[in-house]
Structure formats: structure tokens, C-alpha cells
Amino acid sequence: MMRIKKPAIFILLAFILLAGCQSQSNSSAKTKTLKSQRILPLEYKGGKLPVLILLHGYGSNENDLTSLAHRFTPKFLVYAIQAPIQLRTDAYAWYHLQFESGHVSKFDTIGSLDAIKLLSNFIADLKDDESAKSSEVYLFGFSQGGMMSLEMAIRHPEQVTGVLSVCGMLAGDSLTYHAANPDLCQIPVFSMNGEFDTVVLPEQSGSIKNILGKCPDVFIKDYPCKHQITSDMLRDSDWFLRQLCNHHQSN
């Protein structure tokens, strides 16, 4: 297992995110298990690229996170995936959730396993994309997409190189996850959560620390925000992805 070197003052990291990596979309993705947008860097000249998969939140769609495709310094082949369950026009979910007073209260646990299987199949199909370095796949998920990312890190660590979760949580308990995978510390994880989140409450996102907090390559950071993706989160995500990509390029 790799060991990521933590910066001395993590919260004060400063990055210049390269906006020059403009992107172009190709709506005819070769993977067929889920609807998606396939995005290459504008200056792409061939060869295989590491893959970054963007997973949107509950009630959103594949377009929600496409603006992030060019926000990170490493050059990725990006797939923005649409969740399989249609709630209403342009609103999709990975599995059903129930809400109480605005925050998540109940999960469709069987549905979540079905969604994980679909995502696992999607990642397996990346081998058919001639531009994809299918052995190097990263997940970036927001809200329910963050929950999906974390579940993949535990249930299918052999398929992903690293995951980032923003405003996510783990729905099960440690016994459930240890039964699925006795070694929960196989891949790097970065969990970013809002201190004032009223959708995924801090005590709910605290499940990540309870289950994965002792893993050496799991980073958990709280930000002074609500249920959102902030510029500080993107800055720190860029650092995390650069660390992982540099590690793989050097091996």
C-alpha cells in the first residue's frame, strides 16, 4: 500500500488549478451499463489516460459535475455518469433515499448494492475504451455520489485507485463492511464534509471516521460550509489526485 505524504499545514495548501485543460464531450461512450458523458482534454493527442469518474448526487443528473472535468491538474479521461433511477425530469438517483426535516434518514440498502454492481460493471467495461488506462481509475462523488464512491472503496477496491467523497457518508456499520471486506484500508480515500451540512448531518458523515478513520491513507477533513462543493474542496482534491497520479507514474 502506498503512503501519501501529508503536507505540514494541510488547510493552508495553495494551488493554481490549471484551467487550460479545456474539455470536449463525446456522447457515444463505449461503456453501455450506464448513461454517461465522455470527456477528453482538448489537447489530447492519443494514448491512454487515467480515468476520473464523476458521480452526481440524489436528484441530479450527468451534467451536474461536468464543469469539474478541467479543474484538476492531472489530465484525465473523464466520465460523468448518470444514475439509473429516474425520479422526475432530469432528476436521477443511484438508489432511493428518505428524508426527514431535510436530512437523509433512511436508505434502500438492497438498491444501493444494485447500484454498486452497475458501477462496477461500468468500470469493468473501461477496458474497451482505447483512451482509458483502465488500471488507474479514480472516483469523485458528491452527496449520494460520494456515498457510492465510499462503498466502491470498500466493496470493490480492486477496481479503483482512489476515491474522493464530498458530503457523503456510509450507511452500514463496521460489522457489515468488515463482512464484505475484512481489509478496509486497501486504497486511498479523501472524505470532505461540511460542518454546517443539513442534508448529510455531521453525525452521519462521522460514520466515515468511525469505519475508515484508522486507515493510513484515508484523509478526512471538515470544511466551514453546508451541503456543497467549495473552492477549498476542489483545491484539496487537486492535491490528492496529483499525489496519487504521481505515485502511479513513478511505479
* Cβ contacts of 36 within 8 Å, gap of 6 or more: 29, 62, 79, 80, 81, 82, 122
Whether residue 45 is contained in a domain is answered as yes
Whether residue 27 is contained in a domain is answered as no
Nearest CA among 80, 77, 26, 81 for reference residue 48: 77
174: confidence class by pLDDT, cuts 50, 70, 90: confident
In one letter, which amino acid is 64?
D
- pLDDT for residue 193 is more than 90: yes
Q: What is the pLDDT of residue 198?
A: 96
Nearest CA among 127, 116, 179 for reference residue 150: 116
**Rounded to an integer, what distance in angstroms lies between the CA atom of residue 181 and that of residue 186?**
10
- pLDDT for residue 15 is more than 60: no
Whether residue 4 is contained in a domain is answered as no
* Coil/strand/helix, residue 180: helix
175: confidence class by pLDDT, cuts 50, 70, 90: confident
Whether residue 195 is contained in a domain is answered as yes
Whether residue 213 is contained in a domain is answered as yes
- pLDDT for residue 139 is more than 50: yes
In one letter, which amino acid is 9?
I
Q: What is the pLDDT of residue 78?
A: 97
Nearest CA among 73, 76, 21, 75 for reference residue 235: 73
Q: What is the pLDDT of residue 45?
A: 85
Q: Which segments of the chain does DSSP mark as H helices, in order?
A: 109-125, 144-155, 174-180, 202-212, 231-250
Domain with 196 in it: 36-250
Residue 107, strand partner residues = 97
Average pLDDT, the chain: 87
Whether residue 91 is contained in a domain is answered as yes
**Rounded to an integer, what distance in angstroms lies between the CA atom of residue 227 and that of residue 223?**
10
12: confidence class by pLDDT, cuts 50, 70, 90: very low
Nearest CA among 182, 137, 184 for reference residue 164: 137
Where residue 216 sits, what CATH number does that domain have? 3.40.50.1820
Whether residue 22 is contained in a domain is answered as no
4: confidence class by pLDDT, cuts 50, 70, 90: low
Q: What is the pLDDT of residue 249?
A: 76
Per-residue cell: 132: 482509458
- pLDDT for residue 179 is more than 70: yes
Whether residue 143 is contained in a domain is answered as yes
Average pLDDT for 143-151: 96
251: confidence class by pLDDT, cuts 50, 70, 90: low
- pLDDT for residue 145 is more than 50: yes
**Structural domain total, the chain:** 1
239: confidence class by pLDDT, cuts 50, 70, 90: very high
pLDDT in tens, 46-80: 899 999 999 999 999 999 999 999 899 889 999 99
Name the pairing type of β-strands 91-93 and 97-100: unpaired
CA 55 vs CA 29, 35, 100, 138, 224: distances in Å:
16, 12, 24, 11, 23
Who has greater pLDDT, 25 or 105? 105
Per-residue cell: 184: 478496509
State the residue for C-alpha cell 505540514: 8
- pLDDT for residue 14 is more than 70: no
Residue 192, strand partner residues = 166, 221
What does pTM read for this prediction? 0.87
Please give the DSSP secondary-structure letter assigned to residue 6: P
